[in-house]
Amino acid sequence: MPHPGDLALRDWQEAGLVKPSLAQTKLATIEASLIGRKLGQLSASDLADFDRGLRDALAL
């Protein structure tokens, strides 16, 4: 179930993703050595929409 601020990516294929995806506003930390590969990159419009959603979710 989506959380406040989560975003269904409109440009998921342009981002290099293989399936429709949801950018979630859950924050976590991870050791850099555990990152295996970069999955893709958000389009400028999806990134701007996600930024707005994150600000709303964090009440900034």
pLDDT digits (tens, 9 = 90+) for 33-49: 999 988 889 999 999 99
DSSP annotation of 22 reads E
Whether 32 maps to a domain, the answer reads: no
Report the candidate in 30, 19, 28, 25 with the shortest Cα–Cα distance to residue 2: 25
Provide the domain limits for residue 43.
1-26+38-60
Model confidence pTM above 0.85: no
Whether 31 maps to a domain, the answer reads: no
Whether 10 maps to a domain, the answer reads: yes
Whether 17 maps to a domain, the answer reads: yes
pLDDT digits (tens, 9 = 90+) for 1-60: 677 888 999 999 999 899 999 998 888 899 999 999 888 899 999 999 999 988 988 888
Helix (H) or strand (E) holding 23: strand 22-23
Q: How far apart are CA 9 and CA 7, in angstroms?
A: 6
Whether 49 maps to a domain, the answer reads: yes
Number of domains into which the chain is organized: 1
